[in-house]
Structure 1
Amino acid sequence: MTGLLVRPAEPADFAGVARLTVAAYEADGQLKGEHGYAAVLADVAGRAVHGEILVAADPATGQLLGSVTFVLPGTRYAELCGPGEAEFRMLAVDPAAQGRGAGAALVEACVARATELGCTALLICVRDGHAESAHRLYRRRGFVRVPEQDWTPLPGVDLLALRLALTAAP
């Protein structure tokens, strides 16, 4: 789908963002034995204090199709990024809207935002063994594995680090 609207989330969007994010993670099997992560995903207002929440919406209907959290180093939700880098977290597309380009549009919005801020790289963690479509999306965009930054926040939750080198905007 072309012509998606990607914009900063507004407080009125937070409940819809929470719903679609939890639904996307549940549909992908990432919340099995999740130890409270669904509550973190649903706390959109809390994430908005520490980063930028972006949404992809259908421009004709306003329906939220996906969301992502964009963060900078030293903020609460930054896991990998260092000085001069940025990171995105919790990229989610409503299961009913998958395949319409929302995930790719959100990644591009994060790349644009990081470039606009003069960042040298953009990072993301992906769960090993889940969401092969997400892995493909990141590879096609040029993200590469950074195995030395892989980590395991909880037993059975292995996160793979991916990095995209950026050229600052002129």
Structure 2
Amino acid sequence: MDFLIREVLPTEYAELGEITAHAYLQDGLLTFGEADWYLGELKNVAKRAAAADVLVAVEQDRLLGGVTFVPSPGPMADLARSGEAEIRMLAVAHAARGRGVGEALVRACVDRARAAGDRTGIVLSTQPLMRTAHRIYERLGFTRVPERDWNPIPEHPEFTLLTYELTL
């Protein structure tokens, strides 16, 4: 691995926010008019870092991608239950894809959840279109939990996020 995984620095918030927003936009993941609201959430790394751990993959001084690790239920958790950690907003810059960056970021989250010692599992939500991410999750031992699928946009009942979990 020719890159490092570490916590994001405040001076990198804006850049990581742009990488995350561009990844979601370029992959066609903001499809129901939520772009304005959710784009702001994706860009607001300072907000995420205040409530969770934001990790980045860095090659020399260049950010390759990032992920939000939510160690327990709280303001940044969408579906974590007691004893669970959650992964959110995984994004890899298009130029860095295919190098194992996404997998390394997910592994770092799993390692943090295990190191906590009291986490029973780790969960995440993903869109059906995120097939590359699904393969990463499955390769790392995550399994689909259809009974925990959910809809964050009630006015669009056809929009469902898929849930994956890993038992620790």
- TM-score by structure 1 length? 0.91
Using the alignment, how far apart are the partners of 1:120 and 1:9 within structure 2? 26
SS at match of 1:66: strand
Residues 14-33 of structure 1 aligned to structure 2 (within 5 Å): 14-33=13-32
Aligned to 2:123: 123
Aligned to 1:100: 99
Aligned to 1:112: 111
Aligned to 2:133: 134
SS at match of 1:90: strand
Aligned to 1:76: 75
TM-superposed CA distance for 1:69, in Å, is: 0.5
User: C-alpha offsets along residues 1-41 of structure 1, whole Å, 9 cap, x if unaligned?
Assistant: x1320000110110110010001101110123342110100
Residues 141-160 of structure 1 aligned to structure 2 (within 5 Å): 141-154=140-153, 155=156, 156-160=158-162
Unaligned stretches of 5+ residues in structure 1: none
Letter aligned with residue 127 of structure 2 = R
Contact 1:72 1:81 in 2 (8 A): no
TM-superposed CA distance for 1:70, in Å, is: 0.6
Contact 2:73 2:85 in 1 (8 A): no
Letter aligned with residue 123 of structure 1 = V
Q: RMSD of aligned C-alpha atoms?
A: 1.1
- TM-score by structure 2 length? 0.92
Unaligned stretches of 5+ residues in structure 2: none
Going from structure 1 to structure 2, the CA distance change for 1:19 and 1:159 (only over 3 Å counts) comes to same
Contact 2:57 2:65 in 1 (8 A): yes
Contact 2:87 2:122 in 1 (8 A): yes
Contact 1:4 1:105 in 2 (8 A): no
